[in-house]
Amino acid sequence: MKTVGEKFAKEECFIPDLLLAADAMKIALDLVKPHIKTEKLQEPKRYVIGTVQGDIHDIGKNFVSFMLISAGFEIFDLGIDAPPRTFAEKAADIKADIVGSSAFSKNQFPEKPGSSKVCSGVLPFGSCIGYFRSGLSTVRFFKNLFY
């Protein structure tokens, strides 16, 4: 995905190439997921994640979910184009420890054009811990916070 993204930025490939690469990555993640060694935590934390309303980009969200599952978190994925109420209702319903929202920042955060970032860490009581630019930094932060 990184290579395709770099080529897209240089206009060496186009949107259909990005979509094809994203589909290939989703298939690969689905194939690998059952074989990933997951950490067994005494009390796994519940993480609600979804792509924000108005956005259909889910590559980053899927990658973060995959990494959190392998780190021992219990994931509740709301999919794409999820309205804020859905995040709040699901968090209350399952007593979530963390709520994470994913957005392609070019669309959702116009003050930072051209970069993509995952916003994670909105707790059920409404405090925002922060914004993370990568799945790895998201997972590391919450793993260190809770374990």
Confidence of residue 115 (pLDDT cuts 50, 70, 90): very low
Highest averaged pLDDT of the listed ranges 49-53, 60-64, 103-107, 111-115: 49-53
Q: What sign has the CA pseudo-torsion 133, 84, 64, 69?
A: positive
* Predicted model pTM: 0.64
What share of the chain in percent tops pLDDT 70? Answer: 71
pLDDT of residue 77: 94
The CATH code that applies to domain 39-146 is 3.40.50.280
Distance CA 112, CA 48 (A): 25
Examine the pLDDT at 53 and tell me if it is beyond 60: yes
Examine the pLDDT at 142 and tell me if it is beyond 70: yes
What are the residues facing 11 on neighbouring strands? none
Burial class (CB in 10 A: 0-12, 13-18, 19+), 141: middle
